[in-house]
Amino acid sequence: MRYALISDIHANLPALESVLADARARGAETILHLGDLVGYAPWPDEVVATLAEAGIAGVAGNYDSTVAMDHDNCGCAYEDARQAELAHVGYEWTRANIRPETKRALGDLPFRLDVSPDGGHKSGPRLVLVHGTPTLNTLYWHADRPDAFCLQMARFAGLKAGDVIAFGHTHLPWNREVEGIHFVNTGSVGRPKDGDWRAGYVMLSLGGGKAELEHVRVEYDVERAAVAIFGSELPDEFAEVLRTGGRVRVAAS
């Protein structure tokens, strides 16, 4: 089975549209999302509706659950007080502008999704999707986590050799194989932070005893997103984050 794994869209409709077109052109049979559908860009309703219309299932990101549950913050970590302040403006904008049915759809997302490409009547391989880690959707699983951390998470998730666990949340793509288990951070569709502005996702071929994955980057109409952000009450700085792939440093003010 050929999967496209898409994460951290963050209400960026132009990025999502380009990724879906690219994944279909590459022969994706099933597209799955790994959460953080909303926040930071002005299309939360449109992104959730697009996924629903396309039958794309997935899991709850921290942003999705906090918006759905009316938490007072998104459970995100920031490098400084100014970024935290801007992010909170974006969070409150999303809460104030999202449709009730979108909010319900976010609240209905499961924490984890298990997929068995061989139909489940064989013992593996399995694809497990979470947003952050199998224990918490707010925990950041960066590339510098040691193998011991990966294996601890694999044990918690009940994984064995040949299985794949995919996650997002950091907006920084990486992958590693430890004791035959594949760990893959898919990066971010709608708000990459690795200095590459292009939308990121993963193509994964799984089944018949093998797993092959590829990190894909796709150009999209980032200026359409920037103009829409400028025309909304979201902080203008969010447009620069998109244009620079997260490398912009927001000046204190």
Q: What residue ranges bind Fe ion (CB under 5 A)?
A: 8, 36
Minimum distance, C-beta of residue 40 to Fe ion, in the bound complex (Å) = 8
Closest to Fe ion by CB, 124 vs 246, is 246
Contact 8, 169 (CB under 8 A): yes
Q: Which is nearer to Fe ion, 77 or 161 (CB)?
A: 77
Query: Residue 80 corresponds to which tokens in the numbers above?
Result: 């400084």
Identify which of residues 159 and 165 has a Cβ nearer to Fe ion in the complex. 165
- The angle, 0 to 180 degrees and rounded to 10, between the axes of the packed helices 44-53 and 100-107 is 60
Minimum distance of Fe ion from residue 168's CB (angstroms) = 6
- Cβ 35 to Fe ion shortest distance, Å: 8
Residue closest to Fe ion when measured from CB atoms: 36
Residue with Cβ nearer Fe ion (18 or 170) = 170
DSSP, collapsed to helix, strand or coil, labels residue 181 as strand
**CA within 13 Å, CB half, 72:** 0
What tokens does 144 get? 């510098």
CB 34, min distance to Fe ion, A = 9
Closest approach of Fe ion to the CB of residue 39, in Å: 7
Residues 6+ apart with CB under 8 A from 38: 10, 11, 44, 47, 48, 63, 64, 67, 94, 98, 102, 106
Collapsing DSSP to helix, strand or coil, 238 comes out as: helix
Which residue lies nearer to Fe ion by CB, 106 or 211? 106
